[in-house]
Structure 1
Amino acid sequence: MSTNASQLERLTFFSDAVFAIAITLLIIEVHVPHVGTRDDAAYWQALRELQPNFMGFMLSFLVIGALWMAHHRVFGMLADYSQKIMWPNMLLLMVVAFMPFVTALMSSNPLARVPQLFYAGSLLLAGLLQRWLFSVALRAPYVRGDVPPEEIAATRCRAWGMPTTAALALIAAWFAPGFSDFLFLGIPVMVRLYAAAGRRHALRLQVARGNAGMPRS
């Protein structure tokens, strides 16, 4: 294994560890209710009061999971890397590690505007940092030679899915705090739309270049 490949593997393992720790810490913020009785109704009531915490846990678990899957996909495309990816990767991991706090803040105040704005703003920052990271990483000669150009273009474009959704949620949080979180469920749809657009654009460029290189009759 070359030195650069070994360093890329170390960076991948470190990033995976941060994602794993952050996603695990989410549940620690959901505190077990202490009910001083054996009455079933009291326990059901205590669990109902934890519904915002459960929702926050599931939402952030899926969001961090989406960030990790995209990170995993892109780093799997690389045969080598540039030192320029170190800072965007580190800053992205910083926001990911911060997610348990913003999740707890939002879950404890589900209808408050500032926690909702803080949550959406954090995800917007994470999405923009991930977009920056991917734009630096997915460049020649660092990408594996067997990765089709249209897949590289699709991956670059799909990175706009999360920041776009987070920006919409940030605006919605000002007018409808609490309900803006449902917009994040649209991240998979937004990602697929961007990926399809990027793939189509890359294929059109390939066709245009092919036509330009054809000899005229």
Structure 2
Amino acid sequence: MSHAQDQQLERLTFFSDAVFAIAITLLVIEIHVPHPEDRSDEAWLQALIELAPHFVGFILSFVVIGALWAAHHRVFGMLRHYDASIVWPNLFLLMAIAFMPFSSALMSAHPTERVPEWFYTGTLLIAGLLQYRLIRRVMKAPFLREDVTDEVVAMLRRRALALPSMAILAGILAIWWPGPSNLPLMLMPLIVRVFARMKRTRSIEAL
């Protein structure tokens, strides 16, 4: 890769990292400090207990965005060629990431209602599909380094299917159990590992 291409790829990577970092930071900004009128210990404890859904939403979204960033970081570390055609697929993914603090705040404020849950899982589904599209776009010649094997490419594609799958599962579970339906998403680091170890199947390769 030429020096100019190397600079362009670095700029794209740095910009992407910044968006991920800002999105993660905005998650905690949505948790507002309580101000109970009664300053007793019991009032403070009650105020913090009422914030529990927001704490859970922060942890959940932090895990999801962290998993998306880890995949993005891993994939872009394997690239050797820059092309302007990857800019917009990457920007669409970043748009979904930047939107996640809002959908996370909506879900956290209404943790037992179906529509906010579906809105949240829908955001995750879109982000996961955009990530999968980006990975499919760049994990091939001429973008990849020559030392990246076909097995690694297939593994990364399988890993990228973890978030869309879990988002769909969480959305279905929300029909009956909004709130607890998000539990599968808390297992994202484990689910990603499971998908990475799955053997290549015709159904996955056909996607």
Which bracket does the TM-score occupy, shorter chain normalised?
A: over 0.9
Corresponding residue for residue 70 of structure 2: 69
Distance 2:86 2:159 in 1: 18
SS in 2 for 1:145: coil
* Residue equivalent to 1:55: 56
Is this contact kept in 2: 1:92–1:130, CA < 8 A?
yes
Distance 1:83 1:196 in 2: 32
Deviations 1:75-122 (A, max 9, x none): 001011332222221111111101110111000001011000000010
For 2:114 and 2:177, how far apart are their aligned partners in 1?
8
CA RMSD of aligned residues (A): 1.4
Q: For this pair of structures, how many residues does the alignment match?
A: 200
Structure 2 CA distance for aligned equivalents of residues 21 and 188 of structure 1: 21
Q: Specify the alignment match of 1:126 in structure 2.
A: 127
Runs of 4+ in 1 over 6 A off after TM superposition: none
Match status 1:174 vs 2:180: no
Summarize the alignment of residues 177-196 of structure 1 with structure 2, pairs less than 5 Å apart.
177-196=178-197
2:205 aligned residue: none
Which residue identity is paired with 1:94? M
Tell me the equivalent position of 1:137.
138
Alpha-carbon offset, residue 185 of structure 1: 2.0
In 2, the alpha carbon distance for the partners of 1:139 and 1:82 equals 12
Q: Deviations over 1:150-194 (max 9, x none)?
A: 112111121101101111111111221111110102323332232
- Answer whether contact 1:81 1:137 (CA < 8 A) is retained: no
Cα drift, residue 31 of structure 1? 0.3
Shift of 1:141: 1.9
In structure 2, the residue matched to 1:89 is 90
Read off the aligned partner of 1:60 and give its amino acid letter.
S
Q: 5 Å matches for 1:148-163? A: 148-163=149-164
Distance (Å, rounded) in 1 between the aligned partners of 2:155 and 2:180: 30
Tell me what 1:113 maps to. 114
Output the CA distance in 2 between the equivalents of 1:78 and 1:128.
Answer: 20
Equivalent residues of 1:165, 1:186 under 8 A apart: no
Identity of aligned residues (%): 56
Post-superposition shift, 1:36? 2.6
Q: Distance in 2 between matches of 1:96 and 1:167?
A: 18
Structure 1 contact 22–97 (Cα < 8 Å) conserved: yes
5+ unaligned residues in a row in structure 2: which ranges?
202-207
* Higher RCO (C-alpha 8 Å, min separation 6): 2
TM-score for the superposition, normalised by structure 1 = 0.88
Rounded to whole Å, the distance in 1 between the matches of 2:84 and 2:197 is: 30
Alpha-carbon distance between aligned partners in 1 of 2:14 and 2:181, rounded to the nearest angstrom: 34
User: Which amino acid in 2 is paired with 1:150?
Assistant: E
Note if 1:24 corresponds to 2:11.
Answer: no
Which structure has the larger Rg? 1
- 1:41 maps onto 2:46 in alignment: no
Alpha-carbon distance in 1 for matches of 2:196, 2:83 = 24
